[in-house]
Chains A and B, each alone.
Chain A
Amino acid sequence: MSTVNQTPAAQSDALKAQIRDFILENLAHAKGITSFTDDESLMESGVIDSLGIFRLVSFLEEDLKVRVSDEEINAETLKSVDSIEQLVLSKRK
C-alpha cells in the first residue's frame, strides 16, 4: 500500500487499516471472530493468544519495518489496534 502524497491523517488511517486487516485475516478469523473495534482489548476477546502475539510481532517487524523489543511485547503496547498503531507511530518518529 502506498502512502505517498497522503496527508498525515490519511497515512494514519491507512496504517490503522493495515493493522486491522492483518489481525482480522490472520488472527481473528482463525479464532472464529469476525469483528472487533479499534480500542477493544484483543487479549480479553481472545483474538490474540500466546502464538498470535508472535505472528503479530513478525508482521510489525517484517511488513511495517519496526523493531519490537522483548520488553515491548506487553499487555499495554499490544492491547488494541489503537495501541499497536501508537507503537508503530512512535517508532517511526
Chain B
Amino acid sequence: MAYILQQLLTKSAARYPEKTAVWARGRSITYRELDQRSNQLAHLLRQRGIKKGDRVGLYFPKCVESVISMLGVVKAGAVYVPLDPQAPADRVGYMIGNCGIRALITKEEKRRGLDQATLASLDFCVMTDEAAKSGNGTGVIPWTMLADCPAAHAPEVVLTETDLAYILYTSGSTGRPKGVMLSHQNALTFIEWCAATFEISSEDRLSNHAPLHFDLSVFDIYNALEAGATVYLITEDLNLFPAKLASFIESEGITVWYSVPSALTLLLLHANLKAENLALLRLILFAGEVFPMKYLRQLADLLPHVELQNLYGPTETNVCTYYEVERDRLASLEKLPIGIACENTEVFAVNDQDEIVTQPGGSGELYVRGPAVTYGYWADPEKTMKMVVPNRFQPNFDEKLYRTGDLVQLGEDGNYYFLGRRDSMIKSRGYRIELGEIESALLGHPAVKEAVAIAIPDDVVSNRIVAVVAAHDGTAVKPSELQQHCATRIPKYMIPELIEFRESLPKTSTGKVDRVQLTEDSVRGANQPAEVVPQ
C-alpha cells in the first residue's frame, strides 16, 4: 500500500511501462516516461537547493508537464502549489509570498507577468516551454536541462505520510486567498477510497476537467496513476465547446468523467448527447456545487447505462461524503442527498445545542473527522483554529475535527442533505467564493465607499455575482472601471457581472449594511436581464 503519492506512479510504471499515462493537447507520455521525467525534475530541484518541505509553484496552463511537475516536486520531497494560470498576477504574487514559494515551474509569458519583487523572491524558475533558453534572467532553467539529470531513480528523501504534498488556495473572506495544506495521507485516504469504491482499472480512461488548483483534479490524476489508467487533461480549447467536448469523450473512449455539475449541464443543453455514442462511459462523478434536479434527471434519462455519483466535501477534506444516484428515486426526490461518509472518514452534524444530531430530521453544521482532514491554512493559525478544532466530543486524546461551515440535515433515508452555508461563502461553477474577498477588492478602489457582493441563485452555475456599491461623494466611477480594478485583484470568475450604484447602502437597525434587503432587491432585478442559457 502506498503511503506517499509518488509510490502510485512507481508501482504503475513498473507494471505498465509502455502504457499511456497522461494525454493533453494532442501529446501523451507513457508511464515509463512520466516516471523518468519526474525523477529528473526531482534531481534538478534538489541540485538547485530545494529541500524537503520547500514549496514549489506550478504556474502554467495544463499540459503533460503539469503531471510531470506534480510528481517531480513530491519526489524531491517538496510541496507543490498549483497556481491558477488565469488569476491576476497580483493574486499569484500574494500566494507565492504567503507560502514562501522558492521555485516556480512556469512558462515565459507567465513569468514575465509577475512583479519584480515576486520574481526577486524566487530562487529559480524552471521553464516548460521549449523556446525558453537560459539567459532570460538569472535563475531561469530551461526544461531541456532535465536531460542531464539521472532518470532511473528519484533522489533519496525520507518522507512519511504526514508530510505535506500540496497546497491548494481557496477564496478567503478577509480579502486574500488561503492555502489549504494537504498531506500525502490526506490525499491517499481519498484516492484509495475512490480506487476501491469506483473500481478504477488500468483499462479506464479518466477525464480531467477541473483546473489543477481545484481539488477535483486529485481524483483524476492520482486515481489514474493508482490504477495504471490514462488521464486526459481537458484544456480550454475543448472545454469551451460542448459539442466538441462530447465528440472528444466519444472518440477517446472516456470511461470515467468527473466535473462540476455546471459542466455537465452545458454538455446536456448544447452537445446533443446520445447514449449510443457514449457506450464506453461507465461512471460520472460530480462535485463542487448542487446539481439542479431538473438537469440531473435529464442526464440520468439520457445516459441510462452510466453510474452517477454525487461527491461532497470542501478542499479541507477533499471528499467526505458521497451519494450514488438511485434512478428509481429520482422522480420523487426533491433534493439530491450528499449521502453518507466515505470509508475511513466520519461525519456528523452538530446542532445549535452543541449536540451531535442522531435523529432523522435533525440539522446542524457538518463536522468531519479522520485522516482526510487538513492540518489547516498555511501561515494562518488564527483561521486554522477557527475551522480545524479540537474534538470536544471525545475527551481521551488530542484530535482535530474540521468544521465545514455547511448546514446539513440528516434524512429519514440515512443520507445527509445540504441546506446552506453558515457564512457568506458561495459556489459558482463549483468555485468557492467568499463574498468578502470580492467586497475587499471593490473597497480597494479609491472611489468606493461601501460595497456589497451578492449571489443570485442560478440554475446552471449555482450562483451569479453582482455588487451594489456606494461611491464617495462627488466621485464618478463606471461599473467597467470597477470590474477592471477587480480583475487585477481577484480571478475572473469572482468579478461581479453587474455593478449597481446607490448613494448609500441600506442599513439594519444595528447600523450594519442590510444584506438581506440588498439581496432581495438584486434577485428581483437580476431576474430579467442576462438569461445565461437559452432553453
Contacts and interface: CB of A to CB of B under 8 A. Distances in A.
Interface in B418-446: 429
Contact of B530 (A26, A50, A74): A26
Contacts of B148: none
B240 A75 contact: yes
Interface string A41-82: 001001011110111011001100000001101110000000
B24 to A, nearest CB: 16
Interface stretch (A11-19, A27-35, A84-92): A27-35
B484 interface: yes
Nearest to B533: A54
A30 B483 contact: yes
Contact of A32 (B270, B429, B461, B488): B488
A73 B534 contact: no
Contacts of B484: 29, 32-34
Interface centre among A30, A49, A74, by most chain B C-beta atoms within 10 angstroms, is: A30
B266 A50 contact: yes
Given A46-B86, A50-B263, A32 B241 contact: no
Contacts of A49: 240, 492-493
Contacts of A54: 266, 270, 532-534
A26 B241 CA distance: 19
A34 B239 contact: no
A54 to B, nearest CB: 5
B243 A43 contact: no
Contacts of A62: 534
B244 interface: yes
A73 B429 CA distance: 20
Contacts of A74: 241, 243-244
Given A30-B497, A32-B492, A54-B533, A43 B479 contact: no
A35 B492 CA distance: 16
Contacts of B218: none
A32 B495 CA distance: 7
Contacts of B479: 29
A38 to B, nearest CB: 19
A46 B492 contact: yes
Contacts of B534: 54, 57-58, 61-62
Interface in B270-312: 270-272
B487 interface: yes
B366 to A, nearest CB: 29
Nearest to A32: B487
Contacts of B480: 29, 34
Contacts of B243: 70-71, 73-74
Nearest to A75: B237
Contact of B240 (A53, A58, A70): A53
A76 to B, nearest CB: 10
Contacts of B237: 43, 75
Contact of A70 (B86, B271, B487, B531): B271
Nearest to B243: A70
Interface centre among A26, A32, A33, A55, by most chain B C-beta atoms within 10 angstroms, is: A32
Nearest to B485: A32
A58 B243 CA distance: 16
B264 to A, nearest CB: 12
Contact of A55 (B244, B263, B496, B532): B532
B486 interface: yes
B343 interface: no
Contacts of A51: 266, 429, 460-461, 532-533
Interface string B490-531: 001101111000000000000000000000000000000011
A12 B498 CA distance: 30
Contact of B242 (A32, A61, A70): A70
B503 to A, nearest CB: 23
A35 B486 CA distance: 16
B495 A58 contact: no
B241 A31 contact: no
Given A32-B484, A61-B534, A70 B272 contact: yes
B354 interface: no
Contacts of A57: 534
Contacts of B240: 43, 48-50, 53, 75
Contact of A29 (B239, B461, B483, B533): B483
A53 B487 contact: no
Given A54-B270, A54-B533, A75-B237, A31 B242 contact: no
A75 B239 CA distance: 10
Nearest to B486: A32
B208 to A, nearest CB: 16
B324 interface: no
Given A29-B484, A54-B266, 18 more contacts: A26-B530, A29-B479, A30-B498, A31-B492, A32-B486, A33-B484, A43-B236, A50-B239, A50-B266, A51-B266, A51-B461, A54-B534, A57-B534, A58-B531, A70-B271, A70-B272, A73-B242, A75-B237
6 contacts: A31-B492, A33-B487, A50-B239, A51-B461, A54-B266, A74-B244
Interface of A: 26, 29-34, 43, 46, 48-51, 53-55, 57-58, 61-62, 70-71, 73-75
